[in-house]
A and B are shown apart, each in its own frame.
Chain A
Amino acid sequence: MPTDVARPQGFFFDRFGLTEGALERVLGTAAARRADDADLYFEFRTVETASLEEGLVKRASKSVSQGVGVRVLAGEKTGYAHTDEISLERLELAAQSARHIADDGGGSSAVTAAAGGGAHDLYAVARPPIETPLVDKVALLNRIDITARRYDRRISNVLASVGCEERLVLIMRADGRVVGDVRPLLHASVTCIAEDGGVRQSGTHGGGGRVPFTWLLDEDRIVGFVNEAARQAILNLEASPAPAGTMTVVLGPGWPGILLHEAIGHGLEGDFNRKRVSAFTDRIGTQVASPLCTVVDDGTIPSRRGSLNVDDEGTPTGRNVLIERGVLRGYLQDRLNASLMKTAPTGNGRRESFAHIPMPRMTNTFMLAGESAPEDIIRSVDQGLYAVSFGGGQVDITSGKFVFSASEAYLIEGGRVTRPVKGATLIGNGPDVLTRISMVGHDLALDAGVGTCGKDGQSVPVGVGLPTCRIDGLTVGGTAV
């Protein structure tokens, strides 16, 4: 069974006394002027988190949010009104507010609802993580603390959290399409503080996805996360200052894929290209990367944090090739920008919540595997930096400049990984960094499920992935000259 509309529709209709006919009328109101499109987005979200510090699970919280957003599109204009009071009266008012941007004289608009089958069923879980009792999550946090402190006596504090949510979504569009989705999400994060002779450092790891709570226990994943965080904290105690200047950089597999997210992903979002403010504007069909690089954005990978059955406008997600053997192939689109650019939506119209307007956003963005052995890539570098873990990153899509900050990195000297160096920020230019990729490993890995992307004040969960890559010339922002 593809994306099931029955559960979210039943939930919203029962809880708030809505009917299909009433919503058809609201959409009719919204689209009554000279509107090109309109939609209603209902959301009910429950979030639960528990966290530990100093060996105690001190905090637990639960939050329930609900609301509806009414959107009207006319040309390049968007009218949007949202409320967390879901009632027909408020919906009708919101529809009237949202349609202000459309010109008068369209006449009435009749909408007939029809269930739109989604294309995917990527995260059906027998028991959603939100239904696992809090005591089990508390027990996991206590286990994290014990595991981390056992790793090394220099681990002086452990900060850990387990969070999960369930989001019910119902989307109804002016074309009559009605789509629902039930989205589970689980996330665990561990930060270890290490202390030795007055030096303090930290290491962080974690993971998650659209998976049941037991995913954290399967294959001892949580132990792996804890050991990783502890290892990184201890390692950083011995790290020396990072070098400064332009040098060869080798990125490890997995989370370093944040490079793709910042360097090219944002610049390929449809809104920036329609407005001609992206450094990638008008570059479809041109060489923007080395022929070794094929980059895709794929929202259809089962159970991944960045995956969705349908995007937040009801379009099924897809596997979209952004760069094929170095040539720019496509942009990421939502309905508005696809329509204005006379192309098809790509299933990338996402929003943080009912209180936000959809925009083109990434899902899971990664580079396909190449042919080099990772050890050969390292061996090929005489002097450089090997960066395997990162904090956050950011991009200026207009100038194309992007940064991402290493949290675990080493010097490469004479073809060998030698000393660990302190986190340094790496800065480059999006349109040319991938042209400097001279080797791509066969070891593609996706991240563990930790990414959150911010754009225009909206946060959405995303994934990234990368095989080991050699970049010939990236600026490393350390202090050692």
Chain B
Amino acid sequence: MSAGVRPSVHDLDDIVAAILDRATAAGATAADAVAVESDSESVGVRCGAVERVSEARQKRVGLRVFVGRCSAVVSSADLSVDSLARLAADAVAFARVTAPDPHAALPDPEDIIGRVPDLQLYDDAIMHVPTDKKIALAMEAEQAALGADAAITNSEGAEFSGTSARITYGSSHGFAGRYSSSRFSLQVVPVASRNGSMQRDYWYTAGRRFDQLDSPAAVGAEAARRTLRRLGARKVGTCKVPVIFDPESAATLLGHLAGAVSGSAIYRGTSFLRGKLGLPIAVPSLHVYDDGTIPSALGSKPFDGEGVATRKTAVIEQGILQSYLLDSYAARKLGLHTTGNAARGVGDTPGAAPTNLMLRPGTTSPEAMIASVDQGLYVTEFIGYGVNMITGDYSRGAAGLWIDKGELVHPVEEITIAGNLLDMFRDIEMIGNDLVPRSSIIAPSLKIGRMTVAGA
């Protein structure tokens, strides 16, 4: 039989309705489903010539079923009528093999979002920016980097990409909601060389709306600046010194925090923040919020992967751990309430993840922060993943600039910085005033009093 004659379901709402019907027919006592359709185009240029044009279209459906307190998840890109029926039957058969779990269930019906707000996540410019324009923007950004300095001698290229997605969620509670989103991004990776040694760095801009992007010239110039300042990098001696994290580096600390306050890490005992709810875990000046409702922000969505409305959650206020980030299952396990943070890949069981996570800026300028350090490190990049989330032990490869008597004096590489995340959060001496909404996890510059730098 050929695909051409196999009846398929095309509309996302119809796909969700059809598979929920099949699940019930197959014996599921409850179910929810998510269908996602995406289109994307990305162009890559390198050294002034087009290197790559790629185009993609994908459509998938994911189904979670409950048979009593047993559950399973299935997903497929085969949306033919017979495949959907088989998929639902597979899900029910799988669920019957898993162990009953008293906490397994859909979210409570009263937690499901009512009216779905328009968070302005979709910009129809995604349909109207032609390939040639994308190429021109990438070329302009790369040219700005290549032309910035004679030491920029090569390039790993520039890329412009645009993606749009349509998402429908539905469940046996009778709810179905949908939204559309778009995302544009432009990045440049220049390579600089001097005296036989090479360095690369990058810079990027991204947004839901085309008009949120920084200009290609600005992106290229910043990429060049970041790359050039790494030339001539060397090791420093092993020491314990103050460490300043630039905003991009500081955001990685928030990323670790997000992992540590995720509901599943808490109930599994794999987080160093287990048992710390309501307790001071950081300096009193530290405030961290997760907010999925910010219009046109990269991490925003009207409802989470279980149909629960997103919201603003205070994670840390005045240094005190105020809330975990929770999906409905982790919440039930912990005797708490979902925070609308269920993230869900089409084929995955929902699990908590941040939406837009931000650290509230302070009042110190990055210049004043650097000026406050006699001898220390200004970190601009990490390499590797040396973080133990159970203990908070932290040891990561790093690169950056050395601070001598309040000034950035030379680039540093092939070193690690080490400490413990809890100690680091408690040792934040200054919080920068330089918060910029560049991505979904953002932080201003941070100064940590003392960490171990391992080098020569």
Contacts and interface: CB of A to CB of B under 8 A. Distances in A.
A pairs with B: yes
Interface of A: 14-17, 47, 50, 53-54, 56-67, 76-88, 94, 97-98, 100-101, 134-135, 138, 156-157, 159, 193, 195, 200-202, 242, 244-246, 275-277, 279, 355, 357, 391-396, 398-399, 401-405, 422-425, 427-429, 475-481
Contact of B383 (A56, A276, A355, A395): A395
How many interface residues does chain B have, given as a range? Answer: 35 or more
Contacts of A15: 3
A357 B44 CA distance: 12
A119 to B, nearest CB: 30
Interface stretch (B53-61, B121-129, B290-298): B53-61
A59 B393 CA distance: 30
A39 to B, nearest CB: 14
Given A17-B3, A81-B54, A193-B268, 9 more contacts: A47-B347, A50-B98, A59-B73, A61-B75, A200-B391, A245-B454, A403-B384, A475-B455, A479-B452
21 contacts: A17-B3, A50-B98, A58-B104, A64-B75, A65-B76, A134-B93, A156-B269, A201-B390, A201-B391, A244-B238, A244-B454, A355-B56, A398-B199, A401-B399, A403-B384, A424-B418, A425-B386, A427-B384, A475-B455, A477-B386, A479-B420
A424 B395 contact: yes
Contact of B53 (A80, A402, A403): A80
Interface in B60-108: 60, 71-78, 83, 87, 90-91, 93-95, 97-99, 101, 104
B256 interface: no
A461 B289 CA distance: 37
B455 to A, nearest CB: 6
Contacts of A79: 52-54
A80 B198 contact: no
Contact of A394 (B75, B384, B388): B384
A64 B86 CA distance: 11
A429 B77 contact: no
A57 B455 CA distance: 45
A475 B396 CA distance: 12
Rank and list the top 7 A-B pairs by shortest CB-CB distance, nearest first.
A17-B2, A477-B416, A403-B384, A403-B397, A425-B386, A244-B454, A80-B54
A425 B395 contact: yes
B97 A481 contact: no
Interface in B285-343: none
B417 interface: yes
Nearest to B49: A76
Nearest to B156: A277
A79 B42 CA distance: 10
A101 B51 CA distance: 8
Contacts of B50: 77, 101
A361 to B, nearest CB: 17
B372 to A, nearest CB: 23
Contacts of B418: 244, 424-425, 477-479
Contacts of A202: 270, 388, 390
A135 B54 CA distance: 42
B452 A80 contact: no
Interface string B411-423: 0011111111000
A477 to B, nearest CB: 3
A57 B99 contact: yes
A428 B235 CA distance: 10
A475 B235 contact: yes
Contacts of A87: 3-4
B274 to A, nearest CB: 8
Nearest to B199: A399
Contact of A477 (B58, B90, B348, B417): B417
Contacts of B391: 200-201, 422
A277 B189 CA distance: 11
Contacts of B454: 244-246, 427, 475-478
